[in-house]
Amino acid sequence: MAIIANPKTIDLKDVQGMITRGYGKLYETAYFLLKVEDKEKAKEWMKAMIPLIDSADISDHSEKTIHLAFTPEGLAALGMSKENIEGFPVPFREGISTQDRNRILGDWGENDPKKWRWGGHQEGFHILMIFHAKDKESIAAFLQEEKDRLQNSGGCTLMREMRGYLRPDNKEAFGFHDGISQPVIKGSGRPGPENDIIETGEFLLGYKNEHNQFPFSPLLKKEEGNTSLLQDDAAGSGKKDLGHNGTFMVFRQMQQHVDEFWKYMEQNSLNPDGTPNEEAKIKLAAKCVGRWPSGASLVNFPDKDPGGSLENDDFGYADIDPDGLRCPYGSHLRRNNPRDAFRWYDKKQSLKITRRHRIIRRGRTYELPPENGSDKGEIGLHFICFNANIELQFEFIQHAWANNNQMRHLHNDIDVIIGVPDEKNPKANHSGFTIQAEPVNQFIDHWERFVTIRGGEYFFFPSISVINYLTTL
């Protein structure tokens, strides 16, 4: 597949940088959850933040970045009227943890939001502040500066601080190279494989999406604030658009049970004499993920990890692996983006469908020290993704692809990495994993979940001019 040009048509200076950039050299991250205490002082503080927010324009790239995201309660606390908040899409307004969303996402049992340490409307926080810096020393100084600024402003209190990091080899906690498959936003100026260049409106509000329509964007219903800072609705309603150049952000704190994951892989790949087989263990884990630990694709390297650091995302399944003999149908990669290989459709039609369910992932690893008398700390992924339509993108992927045990040719299988069975399924406590093989498939039974949700929320991730507008409410 050819790498094609992607001319710049978006005003990148107005787009918060994290949407188009992973900040691969800024290894340290932090997240502040803030509560607005004094509206006017909080808006003064936000005004001072605006020049520090990193935009998606490459000329803005700095060694320390700040991004801001908001909950509906946050918009209200800054003075937005009920009428205008009601213009936002339902998932954002309701938040991540309604009864229906819990069912769709699989947030029951150990994943139940009542057990989360943050989010799900528990603490009523308003603003999420995201920091990136290159190392531990620079982030510590950066956070201290911003804590002092927050305190001096008197506008917001810091309710929770979380830290994260990117390993220099880009590996997540199970040991697999992450962050390789990413869609490229059409109009962002970044070239990419043809099938990865996706219509702007899948990731930014105010532009046409893969349905050739404008995504549901919050239009101003009631005049308030300095509306000259807002763009007109691109769909032509004559209203002002609060969403233009912004998007929605999903944040899930996902604990990874690394020892259990590898123990399971070992026990299900033993030699005939019962001794561990290291090579078979890694191969089984790679079949579950859909890439080797190095990041190499199973489609291109079906037998062995070539090693090194392979970031190739330029492949499909339909021609080279239609029967899943290289990369299993049920692997994390193939489930979460089946690319050109829906079995019911031809390649073109498959791609048309999958292009409507892509997300931009910006997850990073976190670690926590042991607590409550436990001798073991916690490790996991601060999963973050951007999408213009939470229901059609993140929720669809988690529900219809990762948690789906009804896929053709599979037997009660769900995504081994992130899948959660239906609570009402009598076999809910254990699931299987099918590896397509000749002459017969291999079926691995009885794995427990290797990931537990510990927190999360949906956020509005506005354009820089809309952040400015919020300070005028």
| Binding footprint of ligand HEM on the chain (CB under 6 A) | 172, 174, 176, 178-181, 254, 256, 289, 291, 332-333, 336-337, 359, 381, 383, 394, 397-398, 402, 417-418, 451
CB of 401 to ligand HEM, least distance (A): 8
CB of 356 to ligand HEM, least distance (A): 13
Q: How far is CA 473 from the centre of its chain?
A: 30
CB of 379 to ligand HEM, least distance (A): 10
CB of 357 to ligand HEM, least distance (A): 9
- Measured from the CB atom, the residue of 142 and 301 that comes closer to ligand HEM is 301
- Measured from the CB atom, the residue of 146 and 340 that comes closer to ligand HEM is 340
CB of 333 to ligand HEM, least distance (A): 5
- Measured from the CB atom, the residue of 383 and 458 that comes closer to ligand HEM is 383
CB of 58 to ligand HEM, least distance (A): 22
Q: What are phi and psi of 13, to 5 degrees?
A: -65, -20
- Measured from the CB atom, the residue of 45 and 396 that comes closer to ligand HEM is 396
Degrees, nearest 5: CA angle 12-16-17: 80
List the one residue out of 169, 177, 168, 142 whose CA is nearest residue 30: 142
Degrees, nearest 5: CA angle 358-360-364: 135
Q: What are phi and psi of 177, to 5 degrees?
A: -60, 125
CB of 114 to ligand HEM, least distance (A): 20
- Measured from the CB atom, the residue of 36 and 360 that comes closer to ligand HEM is 360
Closest residue by beta carbon to ligand HEM: 181
Distance CA 157, CA 143 (A): 14
- Measured from the CB atom, the residue of 96 and 417 that comes closer to ligand HEM is 417
Distance CA 16, CA 389 (A): 17
- Measured from the CB atom, the residue of 127 and 402 that comes closer to ligand HEM is 402
Distance CA 29, CA 161 (A): 11
CB of 166 to ligand HEM, least distance (A): 13
Distance CA 101, CA 395 (A): 8
CB of 359 to ligand HEM, least distance (A): 6
**What DSSP string runs through 441-470?**
-EEEEEEPPSEEEEEEEEEEE--HHHHHHH
How many Å from the N-terminal Cα to the C-terminal Cα in the chain? 48
- Measured from the CB atom, the residue of 39 and 163 that comes closer to ligand HEM is 163
- Measured from the CB atom, the residue of 45 and 315 that comes closer to ligand HEM is 315
3-class SS of residue 232: strand
Give residues with Cβ within 8 angstroms of 293, minimum separation 6.
Answer: 171, 175, 176, 177, 282, 285, 286, 305
The DSSP bridge pattern shows strands 247-256 and 118-119 to be unpaired
Give residues with Cβ within 8 angstroms of 319, minimum separation 6.
Answer: 347
List the one residue out of 460, 456, 458, 459 whose CA is nearest residue 118: 456
